[in-house]
Amino acid sequence: MESYGGVGIHMFLTTLRSFPGYFQNAVFLSVAVLDSENFKGTEEVDELEASTRRMLSRYVDLARRIGVPATAAFATGTDVVSEAEKLCERIAAEYPRNLFVGGKLVFEREHWFDRLLHNETAFAIQRRLSGRGTR
């Protein structure tokens, strides 16, 4: 499932507006999550990865259209937090002066399961990366 849309675009543009002139480029990251729906064979995994590439390329295209050099990277796995952690560490090694920006969904009426399913991922990644020289 591709997830190019309002939340990601808003987060990217807000980051640029919040720190004018600070960022010289952008690297968009994503984790293609293998689950019971798409872990049935190589075709499903290939389509998941192709879908993730298409989504990321739309963010890269957006950044380039507004004058921000950009690239993208992704990982594939079953554990979003673990894969994101490794991906961030790899990108941090390649781009030593970095800032990772993650998002959190805001629900009008949040239930306990919304936090469990949607809103703890960015914080879990942040906790793992904290103190390693990545921000």
- What is the average per-residue pLDDT within 95-107? 76
- Answer whether residue 86 is part of any domain: yes
pLDDT at 115: 60
Domain count within the chain: 1
- Answer whether residue 114 is part of any domain: yes
pLDDT at 39: 65
pLDDT higher than 60, residue 111: yes
Give the C-alpha distances (Å, rounded to integers) separating 48 from 35, 56, 66, 114: 10, 12, 28, 24
pLDDT at 1: 43
- Answer whether residue 1 is part of any domain: no
Classify 130 as helix, strand or coil: coil
The pLDDT confidence band at residue 41, using thresholds 50, 70 and 90, is confident
Structural domain including 108 reads 6-129
Classify 26 as helix, strand or coil: strand
pLDDT higher than 70, residue 104: no
- What is the average per-residue pLDDT within 78-107? 84
Q: End-to-end CA distance of the chain: give it in Å, rounded.
A: 28
Higher local confidence (pLDDT), 113 or 1? 113
